[in-house]
């Protein structure tokens, strides 16, 4: 087992990390941004490492981002798309874990529909496990790329006001953002229909902003969550049209903000529902830089998890 | 208790760098198409000083780059990740005479990594290696072309190069293990 | 009939008669023959020196799931009855959510005969309220009671139809049996995996709000008031439920209630790290709920302690939290948890605890036992209230191991369990 000196064995979420660890990942992501700009976008840091991308839920964006990150670090990668749940597939997650273990892989990147699946796997195999989204729990690399994007734009996170808007209840992105931002000293607001806010969410140290207008007036940046279309059938909102009218982020609403707001969205977007196209494509949108930063933070996480025991306290030149 | 003995003081370092600068120009047959590439971190400072000396005496402008070889090391498992990776910024290397500058030459593994990394950025016409101190103990068939000075150090000893930009003073010191 | 038994020198606790004194207890002919000083006993009697121990009426659990018929790999009537005996229980009531459902005379008779064959703790079947526990058609209470059922319940599921609950409460009065309800509004609880609160928010698990239980508690109380029937509320877990019951009792409504050891011991924080052994229904709640349940047991708002013993295979619990089944086993930890948490915790005296685990359960379900009065069944537990032990699920008599209490240090346990005048469990043996 490789147990990273700085991050531990697994990255299951941002909740277990402290501010120093979060800063370290963000700082480590900086040089990796530059790697992606090189003529040969590849460094040999993880040469010989085998990484399995185990995706129990369809995800194009996150899987591709991880795959780029792995390949740019020279790791050998295998994609396993286990469509549907492990149960419908007939194999339990614990059996899947044991099989992976038997193949002597180094890391697993897991996306799963059940909250806690990443920790479940991490507790049962020696390989490093990276959570690429587990149910409604956390999506730590998305949280990290949001932090990096905010830090790029504002230069710092402490004191920044970030409003997370929309379906917070079902959002792993929201949870990772809340942990990451609050640990690094930002103020977090959540805004959405009360039907889509989790119980006791204030105990996470966030402010509840009842209306989207409140969020726009309060925040420096909006992180607009995707509204899953099935929430309407489940009775959480009356209709997408009404959602857009009451909670949609539109250019007209933003025009009333006291300052320019940074606009973020984890994607994929429902244009015309939670976000209007002219906002998504507008000058304050950092939705595409978020995607670019995604590769860098994932490289940083994989690199930091891959390292062995800590022994880097040499003055410069010692290892020459 | 480890003992620390001076190898070069600031004046000796100054003399060594001046000699290295002129030797470099001689070896490269001038300054045209020469790119100095310092290895993070102290190699960068030394490369900058050598460039300054050459530019002062010749009036020419030299290409300059920085290289962090952390991601090209072959010992990630053994030593763990470096928490902070330095900047890598290189000019176009195609067809250039690249002079890799580092503070200490020991096993040769850093230079091996630097050569690999340079190859991913372009195809230099020629690559030279310039180090302030050669402490012996090579594990790879790599030798420096330009050397400021040599010191005999055991495998567990350390050779510390201090530069005023980072450390407040210039010195080369041998730290004996026991 | 077996050999008479003479238990000498123990502290005899019989809450049914307010007895708390050092005395001998003599059992003969399957009955309590006498309790007093210096009993001689017959020559052939089995004499057991129980000085320093407590002699009490055998514990009675109103709420177990024995899984037979249908899931004998998890538990059987025999293994459950043995686990019960090892936990100090001389009798348990078996919930009807078996496969097939215990909703008819034959099914009740089957459990009775399996229990007799096992010869350990007594097992009293609880019949289903509705045919197939489907919540539609009333089961034949008369036939069920005739075959040996002591109560009716659709436990595992709530009685969602208020009309069905009303008719059950009315009709049950013909037979003098209580209707035990699992209080859960399914429209609120649907898909929930744990208590709805800060922990479910952090873990990203769908929560079950306390209101899902409380709405049904309120409804059942109202219907008990309407019908005059006896409603028994299973596994109460919230402070709101406790308050509703307290007010109902003040008004004289025929409501009784039970609480489980896990609800007075643990909170929803036990679910952290996605420990599926802490997944149960009703879920582990908040500290204020736990405290309310403890106080309710102290002041009698909640009448009895029941285990809700729910065996599951380890494979079933070794999975994602959302997919793991609800339930924990409890027969072999209930007494230890109750003594540790409630007696050592200063909430109940030992005699009060025996009342909540033996005398009152017998009274509520109108069962024999729960008393050491001469002529009563010789169902007795000898317990060591000072014993220090650690929970080792591997040593359980139950076929299942699903407990969040593994490794926990407890005080107090049963040393000897006697049913019908026969030793069915002896820790020394």
**CATH number assigned to the domain comprising residue B134:** 3.40.50.2020
- Per-residue pLDDT at B143: 96
Nearest-neighbour CA in chain C from A198: distance (Å): 6
DSSP code for C321: G
What are the counts of helices (DSSP H) followed by strands (DSSP E) for chain C?
Answer: 14, 18
Q: How many CB atoms lie within 10 A of CB B32?
A: 10
Complete DSSP assignment for C228-293: ---EEE-S---HHHHHHHHHHHHHT--EEEEE-HHHHH--GGGGGGG-GGG--SSPP--HHHHHHH
- Specify whether the CB–CB gap between C263 and C334 falls below 8 A: no
What phi and psi values does residue B32 have, to the nearest 5 degrees? -70, 135
Residues of A in contact with B78 (CB under 8 A): 308, 311
- Per-residue pLDDT at C170: 98
Residue numbers of chain B with a pLDDT score lower than 70: 76-83
For the C5-55+377-426 domain, the top CATH level (class) is mainly beta
Q: How far apart are CA C235 and CA A301, in angstroms?
A: 46
Q: Does C289 qualify as catalytic in the annotation?
A: no
A310-314: average pLDDT: 35
- Specify whether the CB–CB gap between B77 and B107 falls below 8 A: no
Q: How far apart are CA B66 and CA B74, in angstroms?
A: 20
C11-16: average pLDDT: 98
Alpha-carbon distances, residue C419 vs A51, C34, C46, C204, C336 (angstroms): 60, 16, 15, 47, 20
Alpha-carbon distances, residue B140 vs A69, A173, A320, B151, C290 (angstroms): 30, 48, 12, 18, 68
| 8 Å CB contact of C203 and A93 | no
- pLDDT tens per residue, range A158-193: 999 999 999 999 999 999 999 999 999 999 999 999
Beta-bridge partners for A247 = none
Please give the CATH number for the structural domain made up of C59-364: 3.20.20.140
Of A179, A211, A164, A163, the closest CA to residue A18 belongs to A179
Pairing of strands B171-176, B158-162: antiparallel
Among C202, C206, C289, C313, which would you mutate to test the A interface (most chain A Cβ atoms within 10 Å of its Cβ)? Answer: C202
Complete DSSP assignment for A143-180: HHHHHHHHHHHHS--TT-EEEEES--TT-HHHHHHHHH
Helix H, strand E, coil C: the string for B102-114 is: EEEECCCHHHHHH
Task: Please indicate whether residue C79 or residue B82 has the higher confidence score (pLDDT).
Answer: C79
Residue C288 touches chain A, beta carbons under 8 Å:
no
Of A12, A295, A300, A291, the closest CA to residue A139 belongs to A12
> Residue C145: pLDDT above 90?
yes
Residues of A in contact with B40 (CB under 8 A): 316
Nearest-neighbour CA in chain A from C278: distance (Å): 14
Q: Which residues 6+ apart lie within 8 Å of C13 measured at CB?
A: C19, C20, C54, C55, C56, C350, C351, C354
Name which of A281-285, A304-308, C309-313 the model is least confident about.
A304-308
Beta-bridge partners for A190 = A164, A208
Q: How far apart are CA C250 and CA A209, in angstroms?
A: 43
Question: What is the number of structural domains in chain B?
Answer: 1
What phi and psi values does residue A188 have, to the nearest 5 degrees? -120, 130
> How large is the ipTM?
0.91
Of B82, B52, B45, the closest CA to residue B66 belongs to B45
- Per-residue pLDDT at A319: 40
- Specify whether the CB–CB gap between C151 and C178 falls below 8 A: yes
Q: How far apart are CA B34 and CA B127, in angstroms?
A: 10
| 8 Å CB contact of C204 and A136 | yes
The chain C residue lying nearest A179, using CA atoms, is C202
What's the mean pLDDT when you consider all of chain B?
92
Q: How far apart are CA C336 and CA C182, in angstroms?
A: 25
CB burial of residue A158 (10 Å; 0-12, 13-18, 19+): exposed
- pLDDT tens per residue, range C30-56: 999 999 999 999 999 999 999 999 999
What's the mean pLDDT when you consider all of chain A?
90
Among A198, A208, A236, which would you mutate to test the C interface (most chain C Cβ atoms within 10 Å of its Cβ)? Answer: A198
- Specify whether the CB–CB gap between C227 and C246 falls below 8 A: no
With tokens 């005739």, the residue in question is: C146
Pairing of strands C194-195, C179-181: unpaired
- Per-residue pLDDT at A316: 35
Beta-bridge partners for C31 = C28, C377
The chain A residue lying nearest C193, using CA atoms, is A115
> Residue C73: pLDDT above 80?
yes
The chain A residue lying nearest B70, using CA atoms, is A45
Percent residues over pLDDT 90 in chain C: 99
| 8 Å CB contact of B81 and A28 | yes
C256-262: average pLDDT: 98
- Per-residue pLDDT at C288: 98
Give me the residue from C197, C273, C322 closest to A119, CB to CB. Answer: C273
Of C29, C28, C26, the closest CA to residue C6 belongs to C26
Q: How far apart are CA A215 and CA A213, in angstroms?
A: 5
- pLDDT tens per residue, range A77-96: 999 887 654 445 567 888 88
Q: What is the domain range of residue B19?
A: 3-75+83-176
How far, rounded to the nearest angstrom, does the alpha carbon of residue C173 sit from its chain's CA centroid?
23
Give me the residue from A6, A315, A320 closest to B105, CB to CB. Answer: A320
Give me the residue from A28, A30, A317 closest to B102, CB to CB. Answer: A317
Please give the angle made by the CA atoms of A187, A189 and A195, to the nearest 5 degrees: 155
Show the tokens assigned to C324.
């793991």
How far, rounded to the nearest angstrom, does the alpha carbon of residue A110 sit from its chain's CA centroid?
13
- Per-residue pLDDT at A233: 81
pLDDT band of C407, cuts 50, 70, 90:
very high
pLDDT band of C224, cuts 50, 70, 90:
very high
Work out how many CB contacts closer than 8 A connect A with C. 67
Nearest-neighbour CA in chain A from C320: distance (Å): 6
In chain C, where the domains are located: 5-55+377-426, 59-364
DSSP code for C317: H
Task: Indicate contact of C with A: 3+ CB pairs under 8 A.
Answer: yes
Kind and range of the H or E run holding B100? strand B97-105
| 8 Å CB contact of A119 and C202 | no
What three-state secondary structure class fits A66?
helix
- Specify whether the CB–CB gap between A310 and A5 falls below 8 A: yes
Among B83, B91, B142, B158, which would you mutate to test the A interface (most chain A Cβ atoms within 10 Å of its Cβ)? Answer: B83
Of C124, C117, C127, C128, the closest CA to residue C89 belongs to C124
Residues of A in contact with B42 (CB under 8 A): 316-317
Enumerate neighbours of A (3 or more CB pairs within 8 A). B, C
With tokens 């595992």, the residue in question is: C156
Of C358, C300, C416, the closest CA to residue C15 belongs to C358
| 8 Å CB contact of C319 and A137 | no
- Per-residue pLDDT at C1: 55
Q: How far apart are CA A223 and CA A261, in angstroms?
A: 10
Q: How far apart are CA A28 and CA A304, in angstroms?
A: 8
What phi and psi values does residue C142 have, to the nearest 5 degrees? -60, -45
Residues of C in contact with A87 (CB under 8 A): 323
Residues of B in contact with A319 (CB under 8 A): 73, 79, 106-107, 109-110
Among B45, B76, B105, B172, which would you mutate to test the A interface (most chain A Cβ atoms within 10 Å of its Cβ)? Answer: B76
Show the tokens assigned to B106.
């020991």
Task: Indicate contact of B with C: 3+ CB pairs under 8 A.
Answer: no
The chain C residue lying nearest A135, using CA atoms, is C204
| 8 Å CB contact of B84 and A304 | no
- Per-residue pLDDT at A320: 38
Helix H, strand E, coil C: the string for B35-81 is: EEEEECCHHHHHHHHHHHHHHHHHCCCCEEEEECCHHHCCCHHHHCC
DSSP code for C341: I
With tokens 């025009």, the residue in question is: A255
What three-state secondary structure class fits C31?
strand
Kind and range of the H or E run holding C123? strand C122-125
- Specify whether the CB–CB gap between A207 and A189 falls below 8 A: yes
- Specify whether the CB–CB gap between B4 and B39 falls below 8 A: no
Nearest-neighbour CA in chain B from A19: distance (Å): 14
pLDDT band of A97, cuts 50, 70, 90:
confident
Q: Which of C61, C154, C308, C415 is catalytic?
A: C308
- Per-residue pLDDT at A125: 92
- Per-residue pLDDT at A317: 37
Show the tokens assigned to B8.
């070069």
- Per-residue pLDDT at A5: 65
């Amino acid at each position: 087992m490789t147990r990273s000196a700085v991050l531990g064995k697994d990255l299951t979420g941002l909740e277990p990390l402290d501010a120093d660890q979060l800063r370290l990942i963000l700082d480590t992501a900086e040089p990796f941004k530059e790697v992606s700009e090189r003529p040969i976008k590849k460094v040999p840091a993880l040469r010989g490492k085998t990484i399995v991308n185990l995706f129990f839920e369809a995800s194009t964006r996150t899987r591709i981002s991880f795959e780029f990150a792995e390949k740019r670090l020279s790791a050998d990668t295998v994609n396993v798309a286990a469509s549907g749940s492990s149960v419908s597939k007939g194999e339990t997650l614990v059996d899947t874990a044991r099989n992976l273990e038997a193949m002597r892989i180094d890391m697993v990147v897991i996306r799963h529909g059940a909250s806690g699946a990443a920790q479940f796997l991490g507790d049962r195999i020696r390989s490093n496990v990276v959570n690429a989204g587990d149910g409604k729990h956390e999506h730590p690399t998305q949280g990290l790329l949001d932090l990096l994007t905010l830090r790029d734009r504002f230069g710092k996170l402490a004191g920044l006001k970030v409003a997370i808007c929309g379906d917070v209840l079902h959002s792993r992105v929201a949870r990772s953002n809340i942990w990451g931002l609050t640990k690094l000293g930002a103020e977090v607001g959540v805004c959405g229909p009360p039907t889509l806010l989790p119980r006791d969410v204030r105990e996470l140290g966030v402010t509840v902003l009842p209306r989207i207008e409140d969020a726009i007036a309060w925040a420096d940046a909006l992180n607009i969550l995707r509204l899953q279309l099935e929430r309407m059938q489940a009775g959480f909102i009356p209709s997408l049209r009404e959602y857009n009218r009451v909670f949609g982020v539109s250019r007209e609403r933003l025009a009333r903000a006291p300052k320019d707001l940074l606009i973020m969205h984890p994607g994929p977007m429902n244009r015309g529902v939670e976000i209007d196209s002219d906002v998504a494509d507008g000058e304050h949108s950092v939705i595409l830089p978020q995607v670019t930063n995604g590769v860098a933070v994932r490289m940083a996480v994989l690199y930091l998890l891959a390292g062995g025991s800590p022994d880097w306290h040499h003055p410069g030149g010692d290892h020459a | 208790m480890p003992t620390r003995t001076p190898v070069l003081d600031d004046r000796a370092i100054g003399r060594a760098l001046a000699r290295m600068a002129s030797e470099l120009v001689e070896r490269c047959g001038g300054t045209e198409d020469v790119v100095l590439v310092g290895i993070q971190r102290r190699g960068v400072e030394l490369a900058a000083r050598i460039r300054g000396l050459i530019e002062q005496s010749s009036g020419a402008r030299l290409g300059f780059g920085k290289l962090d070889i952390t991601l090209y090391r072959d010992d990630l498992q053994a030593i763990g990740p470096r928490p902070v990776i330095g900047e890598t910024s290189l000019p176009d290397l195609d067809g250039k005479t690249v002079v890799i500058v580092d503070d200490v030459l020991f096993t040769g593994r850093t230079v091996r990594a630097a050569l690999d990394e340079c190859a991913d950025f372009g195809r230099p016409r020629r690559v030279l290696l310039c180090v302030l101190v050669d402490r012996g103990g090579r594990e790879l068939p790599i030798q420096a072309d330009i050397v400021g000075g040599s010191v005999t150090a055991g495998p567990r000893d350390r050779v510390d190069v201090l530069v005023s930009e980072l450390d407040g003073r210039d010195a080369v010191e041998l730290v004996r293990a026991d | 009939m077996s050999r008479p038994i003479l238990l000498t020198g123990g502290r005899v606790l019989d809450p049914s008669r307010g007895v708390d004194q050092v005395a001998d207890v003599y059992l003969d002919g399957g009955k309590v023959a006498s309790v007093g000083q210096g009993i001689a006993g017959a020559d052939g009697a089995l004499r057991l020196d129980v000085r320093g121990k407590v002699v009490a009426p055998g514990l009675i659990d109103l709420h177990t799931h024995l899984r037979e018929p249908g899931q004998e790999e998890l538990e059987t009537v025999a293994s459950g009855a043995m686990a019960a005996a090892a936990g100090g229980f001389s009798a348990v009531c078996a919930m009807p959510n078996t496969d097939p459902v215990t909703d008819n005379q034959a099914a009740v008779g089957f459990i009775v005969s399996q229990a007799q064959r096992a010869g350990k703790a007594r097992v009293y079947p609880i019949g289903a309220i509705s045919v197939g526990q489907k919540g539609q058609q009333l089961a034949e209470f008369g036939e069920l009671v005739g075959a040996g059922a002591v109560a009716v319940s659709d436990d595992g599921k709530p009685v969602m139809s208020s009309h069905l609950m009303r008719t059950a409460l009315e009709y049950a009065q013909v037979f003098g049996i209580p209707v035990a309800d699992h209080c859960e509004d399914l429209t609120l609880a649907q898909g929930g995996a744990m208590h709805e609160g800060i922990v479910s928010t952090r873990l990203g698990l769908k929560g079950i709000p306390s209101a899902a239980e409380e709405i049904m508690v309120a409804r059942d109380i109202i219907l008990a008031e309407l019908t005059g029937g006896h409603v028994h509320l299973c596994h109460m877990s919230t402070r709101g439920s406790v308050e509703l019951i307290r007010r109902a009792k003040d008004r004289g409504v025929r409501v009784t209630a039970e609480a489980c050891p896990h609800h007075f011991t643990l909170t929803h924080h036990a679910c952290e790290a996605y420990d599926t052994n802490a997944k149960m229904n009703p879920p582990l709640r908040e500290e204020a709920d736990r405290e309310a349940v403890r106080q309710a047991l102290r002041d009698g708002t909640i009448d009895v302690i029941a285990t809700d013993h729910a065996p599951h295979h380890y494979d079933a619990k070794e999975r994602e939290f959302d997919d793991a089944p609800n339930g924990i086993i409890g027969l072999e930890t209930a007494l230890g948890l109750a003594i540790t948490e409630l007696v050592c915790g200063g909430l109940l005296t030992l005699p009060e605890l025996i009342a909540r685990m033996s005398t009152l359960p017998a009274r509520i379900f109108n069962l024999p036992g729960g008393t050491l009065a001469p002529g009563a069944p010789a169902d007795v537990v000898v317990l060591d209230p000072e014993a220090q032990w650690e929970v080792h699920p591997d040593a359980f008599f139950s076929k299942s191991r699903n407990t969040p209490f593994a490794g926990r240090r407890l005080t107090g346990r049963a040393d000897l369990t006697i049913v019908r005048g026969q030793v069915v469990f002896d820790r020394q043996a």
